Amino acid sequence: MGDRPVIGITSYVEPVTRGDWAGQHSTVLPHAYVEHVERAGGIAVVLPPRLDAEDTLVAGLLARLDGVVIAGGADVEPSRYAAVPDSRAQSPRPDRDAFELAVARVTAQTGQPLLGICRGMQVMAVAAGGALEQHVPDRVGHDAHSPTPGVHASHHVRPVEGTQLASILGTDVLDVPTYHHQAVRTHPGYAASAWHEDGTLEAMEDTAYPLRLAVQWHPEAGTDGRLFDALVEACDSRTRRG
């Protein structure tokens, strides 16, 4: 590998208290994302959201990057996919929605490698014209996907044989970190690439691109770094091809 690929990771802007500084407006991202990108050989750059994001602005930003991770976080605003909010929907983050939906649209044009994680998978589906399931326990009758507030659980997923995801992670059942109460319901242009045994879609991909892949679980919260390895390798290969 020559120059290390530069990977942008989306983030929050939230009030944070540190020491004597209470409620300071801060750009926030769990550092585990950065650690995984750096361990895989990339250089991580944190991308704060912008409420004024539009495709031209985001295209100029992404031209400086080799690839992107759309990170996990709060629910996508239901109006973005023409739905009425469920009473259990989280408070919207308009700045993240605007910015990350533009990232999903622009990378579809540029072909830059993109990895969506949890919310990131949902953003990618919505940007493509898809829709979300607003409260998974209503369908499945259990809360295994997110049983304890503020704590990652684990559950099984099975990659679909013959998919790009399976080429990265294999086809055996995986035990993955999970924390979500919503899921992708429709995903135009993406193929399903992993499922939970209860019928919840757990990954999707578009193999028209070197790597355009999303997972509903939280690989950054675990020790299996193969998805981040695949992202950095896709960026490096794209750079070598020019």
Question: Tens of pLDDT along 19-31?
Answer: 999 999 999 999 9
Is the per-residue pLDDT at 128 higher than 90?
A: yes
Q: What is the pLDDT of residue 2?
A: 55
First-residue to last-residue Cα distance in the chain: 14
The mean pLDDT value for 217-225 works out to 98
Number of domains forming the structure of the chain: 1
The mean pLDDT value for 139-154 works out to 95
Gap between the Cα atoms of 112 and 95, Å rounded? 22
Whole-model pTM?
0.96
Q: Which of 100, 118, 202, 235 is catalytic?
A: 118
Q: Which of 187, 220, 233, 235 is catalytic?
A: 220
Among candidates 168, 164, 153, which has minimal Cα distance to 224?
168
In the residue annotation, 118 being an active-site residue is answered as: yes
Evaluate whether 96 touches 137 at the Cβ level (below 8 Å): no
Gap between the Cα atoms of 131 and 67, Å rounded? 25
Q: Which of 180, 218, 233, 235 is catalytic?
A: 218
Assign 238 a pLDDT band (cuts: 50, 70, 90): confident
pLDDT tens, residue by residue, 64-89: 999 999 999 999 999 999 999 999 98
Residue 86 in any domain: the answer is yes
CATH of residue 227: 3.40.50.880
Residue carrying structure tokens 């700045």: 95
Is the per-residue pLDDT at 240 higher than 80?
A: no
Residue 1 in any domain: the answer is no
Gap between the Cα atoms of 37 and 42, Å rounded? 5
Residue 216 in any domain: the answer is yes
Assign 1 a pLDDT band (cuts: 50, 70, 90): very low
Evaluate whether 240 touches 225 at the Cβ level (below 8 Å): no
Amino acid at 7: I
Residue 12 in any domain: the answer is yes
Show Cβ contacts of residue 136 under 8 Å, excluding neighbours closer than 6 positions.
145, 180, 181, 182, 183, 200
In the residue annotation, 54 being an active-site residue is answered as: no
Residue 225 in any domain: the answer is yes
Domain that holds residue 162: 6-241
Amino acid at 240: R
Q: What is the pLDDT of residue 239?
A: 72
In the residue annotation, 235 being an active-site residue is answered as: no
Is the per-residue pLDDT at 92 higher than 70?
A: yes
